[in-house]
Structures are given as C-alpha cells and as structure tokens.
Amino acid sequence: MSGVNVSVSPWLSSPKESRLRRPLRIAIFGFGTVGSSVARILVESQPEGLDLTHIFNRRIDRKRVDWTPASVEWSEDADAVLASNVDVIVELAGGLDPAGNWVRRALDAGKSVVTANKKLIASHGVELERLAEARGGHLKYGAAVAGGIPVIPGLEQGLAGDRIDRVVGILNGTCNFILSQMDEGAEYAAVLAEAQKRGYAEADPTEDVGGFDARAKLAILMRLALRAVVDPEEIQPRAITQVSAIDFTYARDLGCTIRQIARAERTGGAIAATVGPMLVAQRSPLAWSRGTENMVIFTGQFGGDVVFSGHGAGGQPTAVAVVSDLLALAHGSRRVEIPAVQASVSAEFEVPHYIRLLVDDRPGIVAEITGYLARERINIRAILQRPGYPPHALPFVVTVEPCKSSALQRALASIRTMNCHRAEPLDLQMLE
C-alpha cells in the first residue's frame, strides 16, 4: 500500500514479532530513596527488557553503592547522560528545575521519560506529552500520584470508558500519618517530629502539611478523570496545622474523624476543587486509611464508585510504579489518549460544615453567631459544648446544614468581628 509510513520503536522488533529485540537502556536521574529502590528492583529482579546503564546524581561519589553491576556508569554530568545512547530517562529528582529541563531535553531528543514528579506533571504535563508525541517518545508518570497504587494506569486503562464526575481521596501519606496518630490522642508537634524521624516528612514540612503536595496530585487526577486541564495554583489548599485534639473529640461525638482530603467534582458546567482537613464519617472507607496509606475514590456516571487503596508513600511502593511504567514501555504499551479541555476552578461546594470556636464566654454569643448565619440563610444543624473547660477558654462547635462555601465565608467574616474569640475559628467541610 503506497503512501503509508509505519514507524517501529527502536527497541522493538517488527510488528509481526512479539519478542523484544534488545532491552531498553535505562538512566536514573536522582539516586535518593526512590531512585535507589528502582535500581534495586532492576538489579535484583532483572525484569525482561530493561537494562540499567546509567545513574546520574550530583556529587555522585557520596551515592555510589557496591551492588550495581560493573557495567552501570555513574555520572554527575547530566549533559553527558542525556547525550548518550540511553532510551529512557527515569527522572526522580523532583521539582520544576532543573528536572523540567532534563525532561524536556530528553523528550526533544526522541527519548522516553518515566517520572514520579507530580509538581512537573501538574504544571506542564500537557505540554510535555505533546513534545513526546511530536518527537516519537513517550512520557509515563504512573508514580506521580499515590505512589505504588495504580491510580493513573487504572484511570487510563480501566475507567477511560466512564464519565467521572467526582474525585475524592487521601493523597498525602505524611498528613495521613499525622492525623491518624492524632486521632489516637497524640499531639500535632510530637507526631510531626516522629514523621520527620521516620523520613515521612521533610525538615520543612510545608509542602505536605500545607496541602501543596496533594494539590499537585489532585490537578493531575482532574485532567485524567474529570478531563479538565487546570492550573494547580487556582486550587486553594488549607493546612492541617489548625486542627487540634479537641477537634478529634468533637468529631467522634459526630461519628466522624478528620483526614486531609483532596476533592474535585463537576456540577453542571463548573469544576470545584479543594484540599484540606475535613470531617469524614467513620463508616467511610476514607476513615479506614491509616498511617501513610493513600486512598482515592472515583465516582462514575455509569460505573459508580471505584476505590483505589494502598501504600502511597515510600521508596519501594513508588519504585514499583516506576518499574511498571518501564515494563509497559519495553513491551510496547501506549497511553490511552484522554482528551481534556482547559477549565477554571472554583472553591464553591454546597456541603455541611463544622465550625469550632474558642471563646471567652459571655451571654449572647450563640445568638450572635446564629444571627450571622441566618443572614446568609444558613441553617444550624447542631451545637456541641463539652463540659469541663474554663469559661475564659471555652471550645464549642456549631455544625450547619449544606450551604455554599461562599455564603459560609461571608458569615465567618462577620463572626470573626466578635470580641469574644481566644483563637481563630476553625471551619472544616463535612464530607458526606
């Protein structure tokens, strides 16, 4: 047949043959916790079709290990590795730069890239996928969300036929570890120190506890699940640092616990998304996720709820996802193209809320609060006040019926003007 060009990937034999002609040559960029775990799997398991040939890291001498084959070239020269004959760059350094530059250069040279870099994919994934397609390479990032849980392959291969309208999940293992320990009575500062000691949290934990890590992951899931390309900066995260022991006490009274939740949903033609601590019913699967586990629930128009759960953090689970992407490349697997359109994001949900106040008690406080809520047509569901606290530092909780987030924020702005507060009121969405 004339006029038809068939291109064959350089590491595959002709289309009529199914066996690999030669292994993919693999270069790992970043030999930290995940990078060393990927190398371990490649060396010890020797997956068919994969050949580790290069390891790049700055100040490479401090990273060398004695268990890699003598054929592996250790280098601190990124340019040399990118210019070599490797087929796939495994980028595990993280961040936007210089990792983004390495990824672009590799793709521009026709190489494929496997990465766990959620920040890069959230901000530039569409652009990088187009570059890969134009140059004949592939970009795979199954490890960028939920570590070793196959959430992204599940979306691309298992749920692409559905119309997903809602994503809700626990996407940060560090926050889940902290909050599940606080649920058992521990204090925030002590649990954070333990998380840092175990390597779950960085010395500066802001990326995790501030919600920025989960925000990047949610943006990726929104593109693949809701088919909406969003700017992660439009999603306003809330930190878990305001949550205290008294909130878990009141949450239990309400049949709930507290978790850092990333959620996005399509309502009509609008997309709403948020990340932050929320009350979760104890009967919800999200309440069962403890320690560093992750969980994601997709709600489809035809398939209903689908739950992904497992170890979302740590070097070995994440390395499994990276090697799985490499094997998919080696055996000719291609991504399912999921079209997505640019979309704006709002924070407008219509859900119940939990409001915890700490006040210097005086007559009329509840009446004032009720008035400010009534002005925004917000109905109170319950008022909870546990005994045993001093009147000059009295914590109590108001829960409200489902209302728009914007209306509640207007009411809270008025409530904050009251002269009785001993601390900033805490507002948490209640996930129902």
Which residues are known catalytic residues?
A: 217
Dig out the tokens for 137 from the structure: 């390479």
Taking the alpha carbons of 40, 45, 90, 263 in that order, is the dihedral positive or negative?
Answer: negative
Q: Which run of H or E residues covers position 188?
A: helix 188-197
Q: How far is CA 117 from CA 97, 220, 391, in A?
A: 11, 11, 49
d(CA 225, CA 153): 11
What is the Cα 63 distance to its own chain's centre? 28
29: helix, strand or coil: strand
DSSP annotation of 183 reads H
Q: Which run of H or E residues covers position 406?
A: helix 405-415
Q: How far is CA 374 from CA 136, 397, 407, in A?
A: 60, 17, 10
Dig out the tokens for 193 from the structure: 């120190």
Q: How far is CA 221 from CA 181, 195, 232, in A?
A: 27, 26, 11
d(CA 24, CA 2): 32
Dig out the tokens for 356 from the structure: 């915890």
